[in-house]
């Protein structure tokens, strides 16, 4: 850690100077603020336009997901996880189903694994598209929003045709899948791949060498790889700071070990690097999709799981690489039909903690850019 003072809390109650003489100004951003992506409240301490420090106030969207889990059966809790990171509901479901499968000692059949990977990667692209559109909009570029939402629609259509829902999909079941793919699913995914490849170039044409975009993102919100690890920051933010770590490669789950793809990394850990990392990730997701859709095996889509699930007494921690970082589930079973404890390790919650460090010394306008680049979803932060 570079500076131990960095993590000391803000002492907001006892200003050193009386208010009117003070150079320091404390202002409140949110919770109703269009650029905080939900109900995030940030208390900023400013010197003119420079940020001296900030404190996040969260919990406005707290629904007690972990408490609900203890009062539902394993199957009943499955749809609730979609409501945490609601723009990447498929990833949430994958993590939860795999964690319970580990407890039950079952494995989803190969066909289910392939379809899971396809839907999860489609969701990763959709999540990154939503991030790109809103992040660029916050910084002042309006066009990417229309482009990304237009193209995200194609993914949501595939979800809708597959399971009937667009956002909170509840696509997976413990042990595999409930639904067989519809006629033309593979063709739809192939069509999407050929449709989407030139679209990424379009996004990049708008932003990558755009002078305003460069000025607003280069050198903004810099965080080092060492600080990322100390603060538990994962996902594209960690990779943009030069740490080549992706759970899909480090500790492969589902059947990611069968696919070839690269892990992009950045060098300087600024907002521009995080943008580039996510753009390359979308291209890599397309690569995974191409391989997966070409190799879907025939076979069952559901493993043999008991109708009444009673995992043996024990505990398990399972994590996956969600679009935002490491999404982990810690589940304790007491041998009954209901989980004794479900703990969700949300990537957004932990990543948000780095906001203070990343914003110090920046301008107020950059706070907006940094919140956008962290790619937080408040449903997951507050659970």
Partner 1 sequence: MVAKFKREYGSGIEPLTYVGQNYMVVDRSLIPEILQRLRDEEQFDYCVDLTAVHYPKREKQFDVVWVLYSFSRNERMRVKTQIADGESLSSSVSIWPTTNWLEREVFDMFGIKFDGHPDLKRILLPEGWKGYPLRKDYNILQQDSEWVQINLGIESGQ
Give, in order, the Cα–Cα distances in Å from 141 to each of 48, 134, 151, 358.
26, 9, 17, 22
Asked if residues 303 and 109 have their Cβ atoms less than 8 Å apart, the reply is yes
Residue 102 sits in the site that holds partner 1 (CB under 8 A): yes
Return the structure tokens found at 119. 């839907």
> Which residues in the 353-382 window bind partner 1 by CB under 8 A?
353, 382
The interface region with partner 1, picked from 84-92, 141-149, 193-201, 327-335 by CB under 8 A, is: 327-335
* Shortest separation between residue 183's beta carbon and partner 1, angstroms: 38
Rounded CA separation 254/117 (Å): 7
Among 8, 14, 23, 183, interactor with partner 1 by CB under 8 A: 8
Residue 302 sits in the site that holds partner 1 (CB under 8 A): no
* Shortest separation between residue 325's beta carbon and partner 1, angstroms: 11
> Which residues in the 222-251 window bind partner 1 by CB under 8 A?
229-233, 243, 245, 250-251
The DSSP-derived string for 66-121 is HHHHHTS-HHHHHHHHTTTSTTSHHHHHHHHHHHHHHHHT----HHHHHHHHHHHH
Query: H/E/C letters for each residue in 10-29?
Result: CCCCCCCCCHHHCCEEEEEE
> Which residues in the 268-287 window bind partner 1 by CB under 8 A?
none
Minimum CB distance to partner 1 smaller for 23 or for 105 = 105
The interface region with partner 1, picked from 165-173, 195-203, 292-300, 341-349 by CB under 8 A, is: 341-349
Minimum CB distance to partner 1 smaller for 189 or for 381 = 381
Residue 107 sits in the site that holds partner 1 (CB under 8 A): no
Minimum CB distance to partner 1 smaller for 197 or for 226 = 226
Per residue in 158-185, is it b (16+ CB within 10 Å) or e — as a string? bbeebbeebebbbbbbbbbbeeebeeeb
Asked if residues 24 and 47 have their Cβ atoms less than 8 Å apart, the reply is yes
Among 15, 48, 314, 361, interactor with partner 1 by CB under 8 A: 314
Q: Reduce the DSSP state of residue 375 to 3 states and report it.
A: coil
Return the structure tokens found at 244. 């080549």
Please, what sign has the CA dihedral across residues 248, 252, 254, 260? Answer: positive
Please tell me the number of Cα atoms within 13 Å of 248 on its side-chain side. 25
Minimum CB distance to partner 1 smaller for 182 or for 317 = 317
The interface region with partner 1, picked from 4-12, 124-132, 268-276, 291-299 by CB under 8 A, is: 4-12
Q: What's the alpha-carbon Rg for the chain, to the nearest Å?
A: 21
The mark string for 60-99 relative to partner 1 (x by CB under 8 A, - otherwise) is --x-x-xxx-xx----------------------------
Cis before residue 31, ω within 30 degrees of 0? yes
Among 103, 132, 136, 177, interactor with partner 1 by CB under 8 A: 103
Residue 345 sits in the site that holds partner 1 (CB under 8 A): yes
Rounded CA separation 57/308 (Å): 41
Q: How big is the site for partner 1, counted in residues (CB under 8 A)?
A: 43
**Residues near partner 1 (CB under 8 A):** 1, 7-9, 58-59, 62, 64, 66-68, 70-71, 102-103, 105, 229-233, 243, 245, 250-251, 314-317, 319, 326, 328, 330, 332, 340-341, 343, 345, 349-350, 353, 382-383
């Amino acid at each position: 850690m570079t500076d131990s003072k960095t993590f000391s809390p803000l002492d907001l109650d006892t200003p050193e100077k009386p208010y009117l003489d003070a150079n320091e100004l404390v202002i409140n951003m949110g919770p109703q603020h269009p650029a905080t992506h939900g109900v995030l409240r940030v208390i900023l301490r400013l010197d003119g336009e420079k940020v001296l420090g900030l404190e996040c106030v969260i919990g406005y969207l707290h629904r007690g997901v972990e408490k609900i889990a203890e009062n539902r059966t394993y199957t009943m809790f499955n749809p609730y996880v979609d409501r945490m990171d609601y723009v990447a509901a498929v990833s949430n479901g994958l993590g939860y189903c795999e964690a319970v499968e580990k407890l039950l000692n079952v494995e989803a059949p190969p066909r289910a694994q392939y379809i899971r990977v396809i839907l999860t990667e489609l969701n990763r692209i959709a999540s990154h598209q939503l991030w790109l559109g809103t992040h660029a909009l916050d910084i002042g570029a309006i066009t990417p929003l229309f482009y990304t939402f237009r193209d995200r629609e194609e993914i949501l259509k595939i979800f809708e045709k597959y399971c009937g829902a667009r956002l909170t999909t509840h696509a997976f079941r413990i042990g595999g899948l409930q639904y067989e793919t519809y006629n033309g699913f593979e063709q739809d995914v192939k069509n999407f791949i050929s449709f989407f490849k030139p679209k990424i170039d379009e996004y990049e044409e708008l932003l990558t060498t755009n002078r305003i975009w460069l000025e607003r993102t280069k050198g903004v919100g810099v965080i080092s790889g060492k600080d990322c690890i100390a603060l538990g920051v994962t996902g594209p933010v960690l990779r943009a700071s030069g740490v080549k770590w992706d759970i899909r490669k480090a500790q492969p789950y589902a059947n990611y070990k069968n696919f070839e793809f690269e892990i992009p990394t950045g060098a300087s850990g600024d907002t521009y690097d995080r943008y580039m990392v996510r753009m390359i990730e979308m291209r890599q997701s397309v690569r995974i999709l191409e391989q997966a859709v070409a190799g879907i095996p025939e076979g069952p889509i559901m493993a043999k799981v008991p109708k009444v699930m009673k995992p043996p007494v024990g505990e398990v921690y399972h994590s996956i690489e969600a679009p935002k970082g490491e999404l982990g589930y810690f589940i304790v079973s007491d041998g009954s039909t209901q989980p004794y404890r479900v703990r969700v390790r949300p990537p957004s919650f932990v990543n948000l903690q780095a906001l203070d460090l990343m914003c110090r010394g920046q301008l107020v306008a950059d706070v907006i850019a940094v919140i956008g680049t962290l790619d937080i979803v408040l449903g997951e932060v507050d659970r």
